[in-house]
Amino acid sequence: MAQQTSPGLPDGGDLPRAATVVVVGAGMAGLIAARALHRRGIDVLVLESAARPGGRMLAETTVLGSRVDLGGQWIGHGHHRFEALAAELGTTVFAMRTPDRATVVDGDTVVSNSGVDAVAAYAVLLVWEIAARVGAPRAWRTKSLRSWLGHVPNRRARRLLEVITSVSTTADLDRYSVYAFLDMIRFQGGFRTMLSTAGGAQEGLVADGAGTLAERLAADLGDRVIFDSAVTAIHRDDDGVTIRSATGSYRAAKVIVTVPPPMAARIEHHPALPAARIRLQDNTYMGSVYKAIAVYDRPFWRDRGHAELLALTEPGLASFDTSPPGGPGHLCILVAGPEARALDGLDNDARRAAILGPLAAHLGPRVLEPRGWHEKSWHRDQHVGGGYTALPIIGTDDGYLPADTTPLGHLHWAGTETAREHAGYIEGAIESGERAATEVAAALPDSPAD
Ligand SMILES: Cc1cc2nc3c(=O)[nH]c(=O)nc-3n(C[C@H](O)[C@H](O)[C@H](O)COP(=O)(O)OP(=O)(O)OC[C@H]3O[C@@H](n4cnc5c(N)ncnc54)[C@H](O)[C@@H]3O)c2cc1C
């Protein structure tokens, strides 16, 4: 995106509305930052482009009265801030019901975990794990995951690796380098941590829906959160910032931008941003991900086993049993990358059949008749742009986690991509919001004490 270089304030019109701090984005990072500032007695406003809070988090109520998450949901091992927030906001957390290992299925076939296909795939995962720890060769910055996987001779092993890498990152495998992938694995503490349920990134769930946390934070902030207020330009000067948005102009001492870098590229800056920040915005993209939750009277699949599957037929998908204890059956399904976008071309019935059909041979025909169905294609969300996180475009040197947070005059950065720990996760969003609020509070004249 071209950066405007002309100085000056927004054109004429009404006087800008004033606040001490303006936060751009009412996702978890922005809401946490605003809450922390408000608690310090600082006058804060949040400008959110969508008509709802939560960004990459979104909970819905099912026909059976339970709550399901279409966006971020799992509390990973060691995600203490997320867990503490869930407790503070009065929600219930439970451990996800999970087998030792997901079952890999290919059409009607169950792929044996000790067979040649699975062993070949697990050998590659081991190689990646080691390469991530010792450091991937720089030459792999231009080697796409898709072309790397092309060297895996075993078709089913290759497909299994495609599904695992795609669902765990949401990347287009031909636009994502092996280097970036291994860097992500290193940053997240290893493959086992990223992919595991118990002890890993998919350990716990919020019974009331993780998205409920965002709703409650926004409700507590009341009319300090202004929806349908896409920020289009930020003007920095020696005394503060002027922010132009769909709901008018705002004048503040400080602004915190929590929007992920590729989506933040839509905001003009006066004066222009430094070259490194422009590169970060231009050289990253949001992944493509489709998520569905099928709702049943009860988790009937538990009568004969579990529902944690990796399906290799197209679309490749991962399914999880996210049912709350004693509640209805919630079957969570994820499809990522180009196969997620391909689902957009189907009508609702065809899409549901494409998702549930391959599961019926393994979970039984009842899976085809859910009581409720919730779905979202995140890459089609014009405000969020996709998920789970911003990804580096192959061949570029930008976008590795965590993103730089050096303030630019009165402009500060937050958002999960900037977190020092657990970037890309809700935990990282919370950490970044807390950090940015502390940073801004300390930089204000006559800063109120903590
Ligand atoms: C399908 C899916 C599954 C996920 N699963 C998990 C999981 O299980 N566990 C986990 O920990 N994480 C998960 N994540 C990731 C997690 O949801 C995110 O890391 C986290 O929610 C990011 O929060 P954030 O505040 O940093 O960014 P966002 O939530 O993206 O917030 C940014 C906000 O800025 C707004 N915005 C954008 N442009 C503008 C503008 N110009 N002006 C004003 N506002 C603007 C957006 O609408 C958005 O509300 C998942 C994400 C997705 C999409």
State in Å: Cα 153 to ligand 1 middle: 37
Contacts of 216 (CB under 8 A, 6+ apart): 89
209 in contact with ligand 1, CB cutoff 6 A: no
Residue whose CB lies within 8 A of the most ligand 1 atoms, among 388, 405, 411, 435, for a mutation test = 388
Q: What pLDDT is recorded for position 203?
A: 87
Q: Phi and psi of 148, rounded to 5°?
A: -60, -45
In a domain, 324, yes or no: no
Residue with tokens 């180009």: 338
104 in contact with ligand 1, CB cutoff 6 A: no
The total of other beta-carbon atoms located within 10 Å of residue 94's CB is 16
State in Å: Cα 151 to ligand 1 middle: 35
In a domain, 260, yes or no: yes
With beta carbons less than 8 A apart as the criterion, state whether 439 and 426 touch. no
74 in contact with ligand 1, CB cutoff 6 A: yes
Residue with tokens 């004249």: 445
Determine the 3-state secondary structure of 234 from DSSP: strand
DSSP string, 104-140: EEETTEEEPTTSHHHHHHHHHHHHHHHHHHH---GGG
Sign (positive/negative) of CA torsion 182, 183, 184, 188? Answer: positive
In a domain, 182, yes or no: yes
Pairing of strands 109-111, 103-106: antiparallel
Cα–Cα distance, 128 to 122 (Å, whole number) = 10
Residue 297, token pair as written in the block: 């009277």
The last residue of a domain, from among 187, 218, 241: 187
230 in contact with ligand 1, CB cutoff 6 A: yes
Determine the 3-state secondary structure of 20 from DSSP: strand
387 in contact with ligand 1, CB cutoff 6 A: yes
Residue 329, token pair as written in the block: 């059956």
Cα–Cα distance, 334 to 317 (Å, whole number) = 6
Cα–Cα distance, 309 to 295 (Å, whole number) = 17
* Domain CATH number, residue 145: 1.10.405
Q: Is the peptide bond before 328 cis (omega within 30 degrees of 0)?
A: no
Instruction: State whether 273 and 214 are in the same domain.
Output: yes
Instruction: State whether 167 and 217 are in the same domain.
Output: no
In a domain, 175, yes or no: yes
Instruction: State whether 178 and 231 are in the same domain.
Output: no
Give average pLDDT by consecutive 10-residue segment, the chain, 450 residues: 36 78 99 98 98 98 98 95 97 93 96 95 92 89 95 96 96 96 90 75 92 98 98 98 98 98 98 98 98 98 96 97 97 98 97 97 97 98 97 94 97 98 96 98 77
User: Can you give the length of the chain in residues?
Assistant: 450
State in Å: Cα 27 to ligand 1 middle: 6
Question: What is the domain extent for residue 159?
Answer: 114-187
Q: What pLDDT is recorded for position 448?
A: 54
Q: What pLDDT is recorded for position 200?
A: 79
* Closest among 310, 286, 361 to 162, alpha carbons compared: 310
In a domain, 386, yes or no: no
Q: How many CA atoms lie within 13 A of 232 on its CB side?
A: 11
Cα–Cα distance, 344 to 55 (Å, whole number) = 20
Instruction: State whether 220 and 280 are in the same domain.
Output: yes
Q: What is the CA angle 185-401-271, rounded to 5?
A: 165
| Cα Rg of the chain, angstroms | 22
47 in contact with ligand 1, CB cutoff 6 A: yes
Q: If you ran DSSP here, which 8-state letter would residue 19 be given?
A: E
Tell me how many domains the chain contains: 2
168 in contact with ligand 1, CB cutoff 6 A: no
Cα–Cα distance, 242 to 249 (Å, whole number) = 7
- Alpha carbon of residue 84 to chain centroid: 20
What residue type is 387 in one-letter code? G
In a domain, 118, yes or no: yes
With beta carbons less than 8 A apart as the criterion, state whether 142 and 149 touch. no
Contacts of 131 (CB under 8 A, 6+ apart): 137, 182
Residue 450, token pair as written in the block: 């903590």
Packing angle, helices 116-134 and 155-169, rounded to 10: 50
27 in contact with ligand 1, CB cutoff 6 A: yes
In a domain, 200, yes or no: no
262 in contact with ligand 1, CB cutoff 6 A: no
Instruction: State whether 236 and 280 are in the same domain.
Output: yes
Residue whose CB lies within 8 A of the most ligand 1 atoms, among 35, 68, 426, 434, for a mutation test = 426
Contacts of 236 (CB under 8 A, 6+ apart): 269, 270, 271, 408, 409, 410, 411
Q: What pLDDT is recorded for position 8?
A: 39
Residues pairing with 337 in the sheet: none
In a domain, 135, yes or no: yes
Q: What is the CA angle 338-24-292, rounded to 5?
A: 30
Q: How many CA atoms lie within 13 A of 344 on its CB side?
A: 16
* Domain CATH number, residue 253: 3.50.50.60
